[in-house]
Amino acid sequence: MGTRRVTYQHTIEYEVLSTANLFHPQNWALLSAGRIEDARRFIVVDSNVERHYSAEIQNYFSHHHIEAKIVTFPSGEENKTVENYLSILRGLDSFPIHRRDEPIIAIGGGVLTDVVGFVASSYRRGVPHIKVPTTLMGYVDASIGIKTGINFNGSKNRLGAFHPPQKVLLDKAFLKTLPKRHILNGVCEIIKLAVIKDAELFGLLEEHGAQSVDAHFQDEQGGVILDRGISGMLEELQPNLFEEDLARKVDFGHTFSYGLETRHEAHLFHGEAVLLDILISTLIAQARNLLSEEETSRIFHLTDALGMELNASILDPGLLWESLTERTYHRNGLQRVPMPRGIGDCTFLNDINADEIESAVKTLEDRINVKNEII
């Protein structure tokens, strides 16, 4: 038998749709994909979201005569586990949905949409799902791409799949009830994008960021910042959805953070680890003359103005080096570390050494300690 070649092309297409009053019975967004006659929906809701919206969610589906199974999920990184993944799968399997036109609905933060997305990717070799982010992290980052995953064997997102959602529904009213620390957590991903790609977004954050944080992004400028952040993120994700190109601008802040968040999972959020990485990277970039002193100061000043709290005690150069080594392996043997080249532009480095990291850590520790003394 000679060689036979199989090729097949599959178009990926999904909408990221902004909406308001998502659970208002007249809002059809949640039912705009899939069958609605004689229909069922399996819905997974973050337990903190459920506290605020339980009655509205139940009412929405009963109003539309949809048989809904609503499962609550306790979020937080410690719950991104194989056990919780299996438990959702068991719940799903006991409420068999139609494989093609009864999408699973995931309503919650990045942990929930990652876990439920992975459930959707693996159940019956893939069923459709709709993501409704309710944290800022989910809104500007976790929900709008196609990556799903759970933590496994002590490693973040070690199991997962690229599985596009059928739709992503954005209703920023969810952010009203989000605790401030989680608002700031999401802002770190917006800062990432601004520094590496969008000087105008950086300027918006400087001018209006603090006020928008206070307003939980319900203010007009907050809306502008969110829209710009999402558009920028999608611009980066769309041409490289499956990460064939491993040099990704959006990985800025995601090299040293990996080790930090793995070691300090219990008390360091994803965005907080990303911010520490951004600042270490900023100092490395400055030492290499990729950033001027003034640009470096602007980045530090922005984090202060937004009220970011930084913990110097967890900065361990050995851990950051290990993290870089692990990420190098993940990026197929090259460091491919995105670094700012001025504010709003990016280059990739493949030769960061342990001394540079140590010196950046020392400078960052000093800056944080001086700031804390002043406060």
Cα 371 from Cα 365, distance rounded (Å): 10
- DSSP state, residue 336: -
Q: Write out the DSSP string of 17-40.
A: EE-SSTTSTT--GGGSSS--TT-E
Q: Does residue 151 sit in helix, strand or coil? A: strand
Minimum CB distance to ligand NAD smaller for 229 or for 317: 229
By CB under 6 A, residue 112 contacts ligand NAD: yes
Task: Tell me which stretch binds ligand NAD (CB under 6 A): 11-19, 55-63, 107-115, 330-338.
Answer: 107-115
Q: Quick one: which of 191, 275, 185, 197 has its CA closest to 232?
A: 197
Least Å from the CB of residue 202 to ligand NAD: 20
Cα 231 from Cα 173, distance rounded (Å): 19
**Token pair in block for residue 269:** 């959020």
By CB under 6 A, residue 77 contacts ligand NAD: yes
Minimum CB distance to ligand NAD smaller for 134 or for 296: 134
By CB under 6 A, residue 167 contacts ligand NAD: no
Number of residues that bind ligand NAD (CB under 6 A): 30
Q: Quick one: which of 30, 105, 31 has its CA closest to 73?
A: 105
Q: Does residue 44 sit in helix, strand or coil? A: strand
Count of C-beta atoms within a 10 Å radius of residue 36 = 15
Q: Does residue 203 sit in helix, strand or coil? A: helix
Least Å from the CB of residue 117 to ligand NAD: 7
Within 215-254, the residues that bind ligand NAD by CB under 6 A are: none
Minimum CB distance to ligand NAD smaller for 238 or for 369: 238
Check if the beta carbon of residue 131 is closer than 8 Å to that of residue 106.
Answer: yes
Within 169-188, the residues that bind ligand NAD by CB under 6 A are: 174, 177-178, 182, 185
Minimum CB distance to ligand NAD smaller for 31 or for 112: 112
Tell me the catalytic residues. 147
Least Å from the CB of residue 94 to ligand NAD: 24
Minimum CB distance to ligand NAD smaller for 182 or for 336: 182
Query: What binding mask, one character per residue, do residues 129-158 give for ligand NAD by CB under 6 A, x or -?
Result: -----xx-xx--xx--x-x---------x-
Amino acid at 5: R
Query: Which of 34, 103, 108, 229 is in the footprint of ligand NAD by CB under 6 A?
Result: 108
The residue to which tokens 């800022």 are assigned: 136
Check if the beta carbon of residue 131 is closer than 8 Å to that of residue 109.
Answer: no
Tell me which residues touch ligand NAD (CB under 6 A).
46-49, 75-77, 80, 108-112, 114, 134-135, 137-138, 141-142, 145, 147, 157, 174, 177-178, 182, 185, 269-270
